[in-house]
Structure 1
Amino acid sequence: MTINQPISALPAGLPDLAFLTEKAASTGSVIIYQPYLDPSQRGQLDKAAVPLDISFNTQASTREYELFRILHQHHEAIGLGDDVFWGLLSSKFEMKSVTSFPSFVTEAEKARADGADAYLYNPLIGHAAIYSNVWEHSLLGGHPGMEPIFLHIQKLGHPIALPQDKRAFMFCNYFCGNRKFWSGYFAFCERILESLENEARLGTAAGAAYAGAANYSRDANANMRPFVIERLLGLYVQQAAASGLKITAFVPTVADFEWKFGVRLGRMLHSLFAAKEAFLQSRDQALLTSWQEGRQPLIKQPHLIWGADDPPAWMPRGHFTGGREMMRADAPQPSGAAAAKQQEVHAEMPAAPAAPKIEPLRNAIRPFAGGWQAHKDRHCIWIVTPANYNHSHAFDEVALGLQGAFEELGGSAPIVRDMNAFAGRAPIIYGGNLLPAEIVGHLPKDSVVINLEQVSEESIWINSRYTSILKSLPVLDYSPRNRENLAAKGIEHAGVLEIGYSRCLSQIKHAPVKDIDVLFYGSMNERRHHILKALEQGGLKVAHLFNIYGAERDAAIARAKVVINIHHYASGVFEIVRISYLLANCVCVLSEGDIRDPDLQPFIGGLAIEPYDTMIERCHKLIADADERDTIAAKGFAAMQTRSQAEMLMSVMEADAR
């Protein structure tokens, strides 16, 4: 469908005016559609919803917006009343939200009765607590590469940098409104989208980003355009509210945060949400400072919040036993209650079950008991891979290197991603931080966890669940320093298996012409963005990849003159897991670090090492000096070759044979 063009033909089967009028009469003039792609999905829809067949709307560049336009045009064509609220809620609403579909309808009814023009519901309440606005979310990892787009939108006169409150921090997910709201929304969006379409035709940076890939972990084929559109809603709301449009929005309570994130994290997020809202009301700088300081650990490692706010498809729907539930206006009432004012229903939250107590496996707490001969063909290498979690591929190369070590020594260890593929072997586990605590009782004898997580108070992964697993199984850590930090947490039995070199890791064929000056891959935060933006503004061609692994990432590495490594935290530990693969492929790497760091000593000369403040200057010098880049890459490869993964593995095996 072309932007800013009339829809030539509406799909068949849209409900007629008589049906919609009858529906509106039974739901306080609120009509909510729910979409489905094939008939088997209709059973997942709420009974109060109007089913909408969207099998015609499956292009990578289209999502809800096209459906909104179709429904709006249809309603105008049949003469649906101007004051009727309508909207479109995904069948996943009760997976993401803290309330039910009927509750949404009831709240929309109330908003309309109170004179509002629209009712908006942001299910991503954790996002609203830690991000200033939806554009910052994209910049810090939500959809990397969107920056040229919102710079263009800013040039059009829209203040995208303003913080967004509970009414404006919205994605194009769950909202409904009257004709006045919808007409204004489309007029606003079409002006911006038409401009971006023109940028795409001209081939500008904004246009290329708009027409390009969304870097979306759950749909590799998705284009950026729908994710730009979903962020326009908040901009429209800010402008429309200033012009007199009345907006009512869902406001989460502390109970909602606790239900979604657990008590400790939930209360922390609610306090941040409240501090941000209070600042936007009062402009008290002390409140802003409190919010900024409180959110820093969370925006550095936001994946726990992302996963709970927008859960993967395998998560069950909410039962709302602890969430906020509103009774439907048309629900059966106890005798004598019909005239009573409706009250919120707070179901009692059941007591949380105690975490399973896991007793350490005293007889199997050390890995590889019996040495090489007992284990040469005993193991598989398990990369823990939850459904729809693409980041498990971050373990691919270290797993490949370990598999190569087994083979070089005359053994075997196939790589698997599912427990059903163990085939009688005991797993060597990468990604143990993704496992439930109960897994310990279901693992074969001789299972081993390899910890690649940096042990830091800032890490969301080093939590009670994961440490209980580490205390109960044999553990090998990738770093002697990290192993000391594990010991401080009571995991004193952990051994060390450092990251080494196997021949199978050298698999990138470098491009004859390197058209990328600087490549960075990984999640984005403020300190990383500062460096990359400065390099780009300094005239370098900078590429950023996020959630891209395997052949696509390797193709970008092959085209890059320099791959830059910037710590996520100012106090970051040397990222040997990431850098080892680059060195094994003769890549020139510029890494943030202190040349006195013991972890860096094996690689001196084979890495360009700079403190944060001088990385930009050093990067420009490297881009200007191909000979220095080649020298660094060659020395890095040589240093990596001296670190035989097979010898390291055998050393661990022999130590545990004694």
Structure 2
Amino acid sequence: MKDIEGTHITVNCWNEWFEHPALMILEHYDNKEYDNTVFVLGSYCFHTYSNLKELYKGKRIIIYQMEQLFNGPDEHWVNVEAILGNLEKVDKTSGDEIWDMCLINKAFMGEYGIEVDKVAPFKFCKSLEELDSSIEPEIDVLFYGNLNKRRSKILADLSYYFYFKNVSLCWLAGLDMDTQKKYIEKSKIILNLHHTDTFNRQEQTRIFYPLINKKCVISESSTKNYFGDAIVETPSLPSTIENLLELDRYKEQAEKGYNLFKKSSKYAMECA
């Protein structure tokens, strides 16, 4: 675990992959309203609520839940039952809260009697605007993240489709954050693929960073799209990729996505 300190708040991160959301939280919530508050990212999956209370004695705890929660045969990297059991123990009378980035997760937890105090989708974060947009991209399409069977098949199919079309397709897994950033910087299009066929939740954690850095994002269609026209959702990945690469249309979409996300984050009202 790692703590990132702000002026008024602390953000607890399970590992480096939670640092981007942590910086977003610092940028938007490090103010007097949340004085003496610890935002917990990821660590609640592996540490009990009582452990966190012991670690942060005298502080208010807000668990910002970012996992895709569902029950079913589809594979999952965390124990959903254990997460729910942990969240059930959050003491709301002490001022502690549960936040989530997704309305669908809120509804899911509600079925188990767990109240989500705030739904806070990801926002634009100025401090994450750090990649060099003047670098000419070498990679046409990039996917990064966990490679399960579903995603591997989609990427294999895309590789076969584009084999003779002079389109470069790259996917990454298991690399450190700094190396991953270099690949994003050198890519034209960032691809978002859902974890499962059944539960097509939007992967906000993957999408928001490239948008902030003026990258064109293509995604499979989601149950709910929190980014609107800032990204391109499509049921046909091959034809959409071809269209955006043709005449460098991806550049226009990247600029459009950046501006729309920045504007929506500035004025959007969060759901309670």
TM-score in terms of structure 2 length: 0.81
Counterpart in 2 of 1:504? 127
Counterpart residue type for residue 534 of structure 1: D
Q: For structure 1, list consecutive stretches of 5 or more residues without a partner in the other structure.
A: 1-375, 385-391, 414-424
Counterpart in 2 of 1:476? 99
Q: Structure 1's 521 and 552: CA in aligned 2 closer, same or farther, altered over 3 A?
A: same
Q: Structure 1's 602 and 541: CA in aligned 2 closer, same or farther, altered over 3 A?
A: closer
Counterpart in 1 of 2:231? 607
Q: Helix, strand or coil: the match of 1:447?
A: strand
Q: Helix, strand or coil: the match of 1:644?
A: helix
Structure 1 position 641 matched with structure 2 position 262? yes
Q: Structure 1's 410 and 636: CA in aligned 2 closer, same or farther, altered over 3 A?
A: farther
Q: Structure 1's 558 and 411: CA in aligned 2 closer, same or farther, altered over 3 A?
A: farther
Counterpart in 2 of 1:427? 38
Query: What is the Cα deviation at residue 526 of structure 1?
Result: 2.6
Query: What is the Cα deviation at residue 488 of structure 1?
Result: 1.1
Alignment check: 8 A CA contact 1:519 1:563 kept: yes
Counterpart residue type for residue 498 of structure 1: P
Query: What is the Cα deviation at residue 493 of structure 1?
Result: 4.4
Structure 1 position 578 matched with structure 2 position 206? yes
Counterpart in 2 of 1:550? 177
Q: Structure 1's 534 and 620: CA in aligned 2 closer, same or farther, altered over 3 A?
A: farther
Counterpart in 1 of 2:246? 624
Q: Structure 1's 491 and 600: CA in aligned 2 closer, same or farther, altered over 3 A?
A: same
Distance 1:617 1:402 in 2: 36
Query: What is the Cα deviation at residue 406 of structure 1?
Result: 3.7
Q: Can you list the C-alpha shifts for 1:255-294, whole angstroms capped at 9, x where unaligned? A: xxxxxxxxxxxxxxxxxxxxxxxxxxxxxxxxxxxxxxxx
Q: 2:61 aligns with which of 435, 447, 462?
A: 447
Alignment check: 8 A CA contact 1:520 1:564 kept: yes
Alignment check: 8 A CA contact 1:383 1:430 kept: yes
Q: Structure 1's 464 and 645: CA in aligned 2 closer, same or farther, altered over 3 A?
A: farther
Counterpart in 1 of 2:27? 404
Counterpart residue type for residue 587 of structure 1: K
Alpha-carbon RMSD across the aligned residues, in angstroms, is 2.7
Q: Structure 1's 554 and 584: CA in aligned 2 closer, same or farther, altered over 3 A?
A: same
Q: Helix, strand or coil: the match of 1:481?
A: helix
Q: Helix, strand or coil: the match of 2:140?
A: strand
Q: How many residues align?
A: 250
Counterpart in 1 of 2:109? 486
Structure 1 position 587 matched with structure 2 position 199? no
Q: Structure 1's 527 and 468: CA in aligned 2 closer, same or farther, altered over 3 A?
A: closer
Q: 1:383 aligns with which of 13, 25, 31?
A: 13
Q: Structure 1's 394 and 625: CA in aligned 2 closer, same or farther, altered over 3 A?
A: farther
Q: Can you list the C-alpha shifts for 1:394-418, whole angstroms capped at 9, x where unaligned? A: 21111111112245x58898xxxxx
Q: Can you list the C-alpha shifts for 1:506-539, whole angstroms capped at 9, x where unaligned? A: 1111353211111110111232222322333323
Distance 2:156 2:219 in 1: 17
Alignment check: 8 A CA contact 1:478 1:499 kept: yes
**Percentage of pairs with the same residue:** 21
Counterpart residue type for residue 638 of structure 1: N
Alignment check: 8 A CA contact 1:440 1:469 kept: no
Q: Structure 1's 580 and 531: CA in aligned 2 closer, same or farther, altered over 3 A?
A: same
Q: 1:533 aligns with which of 138, 152, 156?
A: 156
Counterparts of residues 326-365 of structure 1 (less than 5 Å): none
Query: What is the Cα deviation at residue 470 of structure 1?
Result: 1.1
Distance 1:532 1:410 in 2: 46
Q: Helix, strand or coil: the match of 2:178?
A: helix
Q: For structure 2, list consecutive stretches of 5 or more residues without a partner in the other structure.
A: 1-5, 91-96
Distance 1:494 1:471 in 2: 13
Distance 1:600 1:644 in 2: 14
TM-score in terms of structure 1 length: 0.35
Distance 2:71 2:134 in 1: 41
Query: What is the Cα deviation at residue 377 of structure 1?
Result: 4.7
Q: Can you list the C-alpha shifts for 1:76-113, whole angstroms capped at 9, x where unaligned? A: xxxxxxxxxxxxxxxxxxxxxxxxxxxxxxxxxxxxxx
Distance 1:472 1:506 in 2: 37
Counterpart residue type for residue 465 of structure 1: A
More helix by share: 1
Counterpart in 1 of 2:3? none
Alignment check: 8 A CA contact 2:8 2:32 kept: no
Alignment check: 8 A CA contact 1:564 1:590 kept: yes
Query: What is the Cα deviation at residue 548 of structure 1?
Result: 2.4
Distance 1:472 1:447 in 2: 12
Counterpart in 2 of 1:232? none
Counterpart residue type for residue 259 of structure 2: A
Counterparts of residues 74-113 of structure 1 (less than 5 Å): none
Distance 1:478 1:469 in 2: 18
Query: What is the Cα deviation at residue 462 of structure 1?
Result: 4.7
Q: Can you list the C-alpha shifts for 1:613-638, whole angstroms capped at 9, x where unaligned? A: x2123222322231x21121112112
Distance 1:454 1:467 in 2: 12
Alignment check: 8 A CA contact 1:381 1:429 kept: yes
Distance 1:601 1:475 in 2: 20
Q: Structure 1's 464 and 635: CA in aligned 2 closer, same or farther, altered over 3 A?
A: same
Structure of greater Rg: 1
Counterpart in 1 of 2:137? 514
More strand by share: 2
Alignment check: 8 A CA contact 2:69 2:80 kept: no
Distance 1:484 1:451 in 2: 13
Query: What is the Cα deviation at residue 646 of structure 1?
Result: 9.7
Alignment check: 8 A CA contact 2:100 2:116 kept: no
Give the structure, 1 or 2, with the largest relative contact order (CA under 8 Å, sep 6 or more).
2
Q: Structure 1's 448 and 436: CA in aligned 2 closer, same or farther, altered over 3 A?
A: same
Q: Helix, strand or coil: the match of 1:472?
A: coil
Q: Can you list the C-alpha shifts for 1:564-608, whole angstroms capped at 9, x where unaligned? A: 1111201221111210111111110110115xx4x226422x222
Q: 1:461 aligns with which of 66, 78, 83?
A: 78
Distance 1:601 1:647 in 2: 11
Alignment check: 8 A CA contact 1:565 1:591 kept: yes
